[in-house]
């Protein structure tokens, strides 16, 4: 019988030594542990224990930064790398409202800004994902990194499924169906910014995760990251509620509070046909257009193109009206 501990066992032990001896991982430990997972050097039972222990303890900014370090070191490279202007993670899906955030991203792309969106479908039942909305608009997904780079160059918008970033990440996020709970992977993928875009727009559902993403962004020293509570956890403006923004830029975090845009509450129904009609200008929807332009305004603020809220919204309206 081989009694030598498995190399990954020490990382499970750090998290699980009990109330007084367990602790969170350092950034270096997190990088090494997640590197082993990405390289498939762990065992299935270790992987499940590791993810659920992190979930129970709640991941830290250091852990997320270390995990991102491991991913970026292993990313597939394209000979024709195009740097996006804005990284847009899309992982939550929508359970009630139509995914208007996609029209915000497409309007920005139509204005010449390169938008890279990445996500995955199907990890939570009863939700509509970016994949579904793209199909309704007849917009293809990127097949791989090289195809995403070509789409960014030609059309200024690309949606890259998570498996195109790293196949193990897709496997891990789908483990929710086995473990019964979301894992830190749902947070991690929002911070990965795979092609080092100078700006990243992160929507979260639970306000507590704003602090985790803020800490990770400061540690990763990415240029500009805007974090806010978005509708359903997507990077989409909730127009009937004030929006608290955390902007990480120049190694500092600044919090702002933008007031609600309207008291009008959008109809709580997902209608992808209506999404298409609004995009094509075949119908008008005041609430939808406020969501779209409000989200564009946040993106412009994130990219450093509009420091003041009023200027951001005025510019966003111009971008929306000129989209086609």
- How confident is the model over 129-176, as pLDDT tens digits? 999 999 999 999 999 999 999 999 999 999 999 999 999 999 999 998
Q: Please count the CA atoms within 13 angstroms of the CA of 156 that sit on its side-chain side.
A: 12
Residue 265, pLDDT > 80, answer no
pLDDT-based confidence at residue 1 (cuts at 50, 70, 90)? low
Residue 19 domain-assigned? Answer: no
Residues contacting 55, CB < 8 A, separation 6+: 181, 182, 183, 184
Cβ-based burial of 288 (10 A; exposed 0-12, middle 13-18, buried ≥19): buried
Q: Which of 1-5, 30-34, 89-93, 243-247 has the lowest mean pLDDT?
A: 1-5
Paired tokens of 162? 């998570």
What are residue 208's phi and psi, to 5 degrees?
A: -60, -25
**Residue % of the chain over a pLDDT of 90:** 82
Choose among 103, 97, 123, 125: nearest CA to 115. 103
pLDDT-based confidence at residue 179 (cuts at 50, 70, 90)? confident
Q: Is 122 helix (H, G, I), strand (E, B) or coil?
A: coil
Residue 4, pLDDT > 90, answer no
Q: What is the pLDDT of residue 95?
A: 87
Residue 75, pLDDT > 80, answer yes
Q: For the chain, how many structural domains are there in total? A: 1
Residue 66 domain-assigned? Answer: no
Q: What is the pLDDT of residues 278-323, one digit of tens each?
A: 999 999 999 999 999 999 999 999 999 998 999 999 999 999 999 9
Residue 193, pLDDT > 90, answer yes
Domain around 221: 86-161+185-321
Is residue 247 within 8 A of residue 266, CB to CB? The reply is no
Residue 79, pLDDT > 70, answer no
Q: What is the pLDDT of residues 207-248, one digit of tens each?
A: 889 999 999 999 999 889 999 999 999 999 999 999 999 999
Helices (H), the chain: 9-16, 27-38, 44-57, 61-73, 101-110, 130-136, 145-155, 162-165, 167-174, 176-179, 185-191, 208-220, 272-280, 286-302, 309-321
Q: What is the pLDDT of residue 2?
A: 67
Residue 100 domain-assigned? Answer: yes
Residue 204 domain-assigned? Answer: yes
Q: What is the CATH number of the domain that holds 262?
A: 3.40.1030.10
């Amino acid at each position: 019988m081989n009694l030598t501990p498995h190399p990954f066992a020490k990382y499970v032990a750090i998290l699980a030594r009990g109330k007084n001896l367990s602790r969170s991982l350092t950034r270096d430990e997190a990088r090494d542990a997640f590197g082993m997972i990405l390289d498939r050097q762990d065992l299935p039972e270790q992987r499940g224990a590791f993810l659920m222990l992190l979930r129970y303890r709640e991941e830290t900014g250091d852990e997320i930064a270390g995990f991102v370090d491991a991913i970026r070191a292993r990313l597939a490279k394209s000979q024709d790398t195009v740097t996006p202007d804005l990284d847009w993670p899309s992982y939550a899906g929508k359970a009630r409202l139509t995914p208007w955030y996609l029209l915000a991203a497409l309007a920005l792309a139509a204005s010449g800004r390169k938008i890279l969106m990445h996500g995955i479908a199907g990890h939570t039942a009863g939700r509509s994902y970016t994949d579904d909305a793209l199909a309704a608009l007849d917009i293809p997904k990127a097949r791989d990194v090289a195809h995403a780079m070509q789409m960014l160059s030609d059309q200024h918008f690309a949606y890259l499924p998570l498996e195109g970033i790293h196949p193990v990440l897709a496997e891990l996020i789908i483990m929710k169906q086995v473990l019964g709970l979301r894992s830190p992977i749902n947070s991690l993928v929002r911070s990965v910014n795979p092609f080092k875009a100078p700006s990243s727009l992160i929507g979260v559902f639970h306000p507590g995760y704003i602090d985790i993403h803020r800490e990770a962004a400061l540690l990763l020293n990415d240029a500009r990251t805007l974090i806010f509570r978005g509708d359903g956890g997507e990077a989409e403006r909730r127009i009937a509620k004030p929006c608290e923004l955390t902007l990480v830029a120049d190694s500092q975090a600044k919090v702002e509070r933008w007031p609600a845009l309207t008291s009008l509450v959008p109809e709580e129904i997902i209608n992808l046909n209506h999404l298409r009609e609004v995009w094509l200008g075949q119908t008008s929807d005041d609430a939808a257009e406020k969501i779209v332009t409000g989200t564009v305004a946040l993106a412009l603020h994130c990219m450093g193109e509009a420091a003041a809220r009023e200027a951001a919204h005025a510019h966003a309206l111009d971008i929306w009206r000129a989209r086609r």
